[in-house]
């Protein structure tokens, strides 16, 4: 029977869950939301996170182990503010935490912190990755042991201020009929601490081979890159941001282009939608978040997991985001844990 969505950690607010199988367990690396009191705006100032925590699971419906705080803003030498989405990769016995954070000039960069264990704690490098910018790093290890980072996000994620990997205060979002901004893809160096090449566009195209347009808000990229491989194909998934969909596109190699396929998850309660996809114990799982437990406060998100299924053509079956109206009032009451 298909597993129902499950809230993973009702004790606190965790978002943007990046899940991986390490040492036969699922490890989850979320952002840690809290009530900072910062006013809500289009730059996302209300997402003022200051630390990361790690969680693990032996089985999908088993006990969730909380490994505690593993990295704090004040421990990062180049820190400005806002620890946004992160991801972790494993190579040669080391675990690398890649994270988005604003530097001291309020520009988002991507940093690395290293640990000997998947549960952390993680020790940050003194500087962000050279040539990195914007937000939402996702690191994917291909079958040939090459590691690729996907990143980028518009609006608060600042991707609209870059062209050809250069910050340019005179540019902004493309116009309605222009090509939309692409997420970026870059191969990592052998030591996992830098980019091995210049980041490239991970182009998303329609079925006719045309790049998606900026005005195509139900399909174009906004933020929250994720990559997984299924039956030899590269599945790039992402959030459409202001239209609140999780979508996916398929390619033949890690760089793309990726042809748009459809919706993975319809809108959830809350403004953001963000996810990861992982295979574990013979099934596929979608980790994501919503704001049902905080009664819709968009800066206080709770992480969840639900089974993800493919049809026999390899298409992902769309999952309905749970709407607050569909919940029993007793369930909502139970979930109002902090108020
Ligand atoms: O958690 C802060 C930001 O919200 C993430 O980096 C975005 O993807 C969105 O989920």
pLDDT digits (tens, 9 = 90+) for 288-319: 999 999 999 999 999 999 999 999 999 999 99
Instruction: For residue 124, tell me if it sits in a domain.
Output: yes
Provide the domain limits for residue 313.
6-335
Active site residue 223: yes
pLDDT at 324 over 70: no
Q: Which of 241, 272, 294, 300 to mutate to test the pocket of ligand 1 (most atoms within 8 A of CB)?
A: 272
CB contact at 8 A, 18 and 87: yes
pLDDT at residue 337 is higher than 50:
no
- Segment 229-254 shows an average pLDDT of 98
Predicted confidence (pLDDT) per residue in 262-284, tens digit: 999 999 999 999 999 999 999 99
- Centre of ligand 1 from the C-alpha of residue 72, in Å: 17
Residue 143 neighbours by CB distance under 10 Å:
7
Any domain includes 53: yes
> What is the tally of structural domains in the chain?
1
Torsion angle of alpha carbons 297, 301, 305, 307, nearest 10°? 50
Residue 86 lies in a domain: yes
Residue 333 annotated in active site: no
Strands (E), 8-146: 14-22, 25-32, 51-57, 64-72, 79-81, 86-91, 94-103, 108-115, 123-124, 138-141
Is residue 326, in this structure, part of any structural domain at all?
yes
pLDDT digits (tens, 9 = 90+) for 93-142: 999 999 999 999 999 999 999 999 999 999 999 999 999 999 999 999 99
Cβ atoms of 239 and 290 within 8 Å: the answer is: no
State the catalytic residue, choosing from 16, 48, 85, 290.
Answer: 16
Angle among Cα 38, 40, 45 to the nearest 5 degrees reads 60
Ligand 1 pocket test target in 157, 225, 287 with most atoms within 8 Å of CB: 157
Model confidence at 185, pLDDT cuts 50, 70, 90, reads: very high
Give distance in angstroms: CA of 1 to centre of ligand 1.
Answer: 32
Distance 208 CA to ligand 1 centre (A): 31
CATH number of residue 84's parent domain: 2.115.10.20
Q: What is the pLDDT of residue 336?
A: 46
**Residue 309: is the preceding peptide bond cis (ω within 30°)?**
no
**Length reported for the chain:** 339
Query: Does some domain include residue 1?
Result: no
DSSP letter at 188 equals: B
Atom of ligand 1 nearest to the CA of 273: 10
Quick one: pLDDT band at residue 330, thresholds 50, 70, 90? very low
Mean pLDDT taken over the chain: 95
């Amino acid at each position: 029977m298909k597993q129902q969505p499950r809230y993973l950690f009702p004790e606190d607010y965790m978002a943007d869950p990046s899940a991986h199988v390490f040492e036969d367990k699922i490890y989850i690396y979320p952002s840690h939301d809290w009530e900072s009191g910062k006013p809500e705006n289009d730059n996302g100032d209300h997402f003022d996170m200051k630390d990361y925590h790690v969680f693990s699971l032996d089985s999908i419906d088993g006990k969730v182990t909380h490994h505690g705080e593993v990295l704090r803003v004040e421990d990062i030498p180049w820190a400005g503010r806002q620890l946004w989405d992160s991801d972790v990769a494993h190579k040669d016995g080391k675990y690398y935490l890649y994270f988005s954070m604003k530097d001291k000039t309020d520009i988002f960069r991507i940093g690395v912190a290293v640990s000997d264990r998947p549960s952390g704690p993680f020790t940050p490098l003194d500087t962000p990755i050279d040539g990195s910018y914007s937000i939402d790093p996702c690191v994917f290890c291909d079958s040939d042991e090459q590691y690729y980072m996907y990143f980028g996000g518009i609006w608060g994620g600042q991707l609209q201020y870059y062209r050809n990997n250069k910050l340019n205060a005179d540019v902004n979002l493309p116009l309605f009929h222009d090509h939309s901004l692409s997420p970026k893809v870059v191969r990592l160096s052998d030591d996992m601490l830098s980019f091995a090449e210049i980041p490239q566009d991970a182009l998303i195209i329609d079925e006719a081979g045309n790049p998606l347009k900026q005005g195509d808000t139900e399909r174009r990229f906004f933020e929250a890159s994720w990559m997984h491989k299924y039956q030899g194909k590269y599945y790039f998934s992402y959030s459409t941001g202001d239209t609140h969909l999780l979508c996916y596109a398929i390619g033949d190699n890690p760089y793309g282009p990726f042809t748009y396929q459809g919706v993975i998850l319809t809108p959830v309660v809350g403004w953001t939608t963000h996810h990861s996809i992982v295979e574990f114990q013979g099934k596929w799982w979608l980790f994501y978040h919503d704001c049902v437990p905080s009664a819709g406060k968009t800066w206080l998100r709770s992480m969840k997991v639900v089974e993800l299924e493919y049809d026999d053509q390899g298409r992902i079956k769309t999952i309905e985001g749970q709407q607050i109206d569909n919940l029993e009032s007793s369930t909502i009451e139970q979930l109002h844990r902090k108020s």
